[in-house]
Homo-oligomer: A and B are copies of this chain.
Amino acid sequence: MSVAGPSGQDAIAAADAWMADNRQRLLDELFDLIRCPSVSTDPAYKDGMDKAAALLQARLARMGMADVQLLNNGGHSAVFAQWTGAPGMPTILVYGHYDVQPPDPLEAWASPPFEPTLHADRYVARGASDDKSPLWIALSGLEAWLAVTGGLPLNVKVLLEGEEEIGSRSLPGLFVSHRELLSADVLVSADGGRWRPGTPSVNTNSRGNIGMELHVQTAGTDLHSGRYGGPVGNAAMVLARMLATLHDADGRIAVPGFMDGLQRPSNSDYASMEALGFDEAKFFAEIGAVPGAIEPGVRLLESLWLRPTIEVNGLTSGYQGVGGKTVIPATASAKITCRLGPGQDPVRAAEAVEKHLLAHCPRWATAEVRRSRGGTAAYAVPEDDRFLAAVERVIEQVHGRKPLRVGVGGTLPISAMVKEHLGLETVMLSYAIADENIHAPNEFFRLSSFDDGLKAWVRALPELAKA
């Protein structure tokens, strides 16, 4: 190692002390980043995107990272930097994103969305949780080590993209054009969230997803139900009948071929779920739902983290205004998305749903399935991954308890992407928590999470170096 200062526990203690001395400055600078309205989906915010990228570049250069640059593939640039002064040591690719969701609806915010506002133990702002604080914490860990020891315990590349909220469109191309620059031993994600406050946990898997729209047509135009009702098909009814075939009477998915490749949970998966002591009654009470919709024989957390779903996200047909209208709808449509479990192939799964739906369209109606491009496979870091073990040690050091392995019911495309293009596994070390109004008004982040995160990233670098 080319580290010039203290090493081992001394270095960690020195970095902790540096954090304490610099905490307010780090927060102030984070708030400057949050004040950049970096909404990637809306061209009106281009200035905010550019400002955020420039601010990150300046910080990375100032703290001693090399090769600071923007990587561009036609969309919003990604910010890259590296420090490769630890030959023979592992190389980690630290990932985060500086773009945020639009702040709408503006009237629902208690304070201006791009002005970080302290409320007791938290600060409120768009991007506070997703993903500006978590990525800033990671960069602060690097800065502390660089400041205290003059180097890092391992090789570090940083990739902060500006298109996470719009599907990471540029990343696959950048992975091809910059394969060498981005090569590493593992992706360490500063995106994603912890399970809940108070329970140390590490995310080890996420579900995949696919999307499509089903369109049904039964006539050239909506028809008067008196003049035509009886011999003529009803698109809304055809749609309902087709959708009803997706599951059997017990709620099991009934689409042939859809489940192909799905892996059963491992004993270790079941052990993790058991260990969580999950409060199912509270889960349903919080969302105003009644238990019972789950497929038979499947546990709740298994259903959430590892089982595929087919969901109708929206229905549209005929007259939807106030009162009645005696019309036979000529068209009807449903938006459909599926979550995928480990082992399912997104393309084959989507084909299976399409084939099944079309097979259930009566011959006197026409149906079309418009599939969304791509889709994402489920991801699980191998249970014995050495970097996962390192992250677990870090969390144990910070929180005094071995973290629980938890799943994410949602989809993290970056994991599937780097696995496919760069051959990397993903470990996650983010201090966001799932309850922080992500993508919603009054997004917030906890000051306690900020402090825990700084401790964790100080310890993560030497632990990952040991992996």
Contacts and interface: CB of A to CB of B under 8 A. Distances in A.
A100 B237 CA distance: 31
Interface in A310-330: 311-320, 324-330
A231 interface: yes
A283 B312 CA distance: 34
Given A231-B291, A315-B317, A226 B324 contact: no
A230 B298 CA distance: 10
Contacts of A332: 315
A364 B290 contact: yes
B304 A329 contact: no
Interface in A359-385: 362-365, 372
Given A209-B326, A232-B293, A364-B291, A226 B408 contact: yes
Interface string A297-310: 01010011001010
B303 A339 contact: no
Contacts of A409: 226-230
A287 interface: yes
A205 to B, nearest CB: 12
Contacts of A424: none
A247 B232 CA distance: 14
A233 B293 contact: yes
Interface string A209-222: 10101000011110
Interface stretch (A76-84, A116-124, A238-246): A238-246
Contact of A226 (B237, B329, B364, B411): B411
Given A240-B244, A313-B324, A293 B218 contact: yes
Interface in A371-401: 372
Contacts of A295: 230
Contacts of A334: 236, 240
Interface in A272-303: 283-284, 287-295, 298, 300, 303
17 contacts: A226-B409, A227-B409, A228-B304, A229-B409, A231-B303, A234-B311, A236-B312, A240-B240, A240-B244, A288-B330, A293-B362, A313-B319, A313-B324, A314-B327, A315-B317, A315-B320, A316-B316
* 3 shortest interchain CB distances as A-B pairs: A220-B288, A226-B410, A292-B364
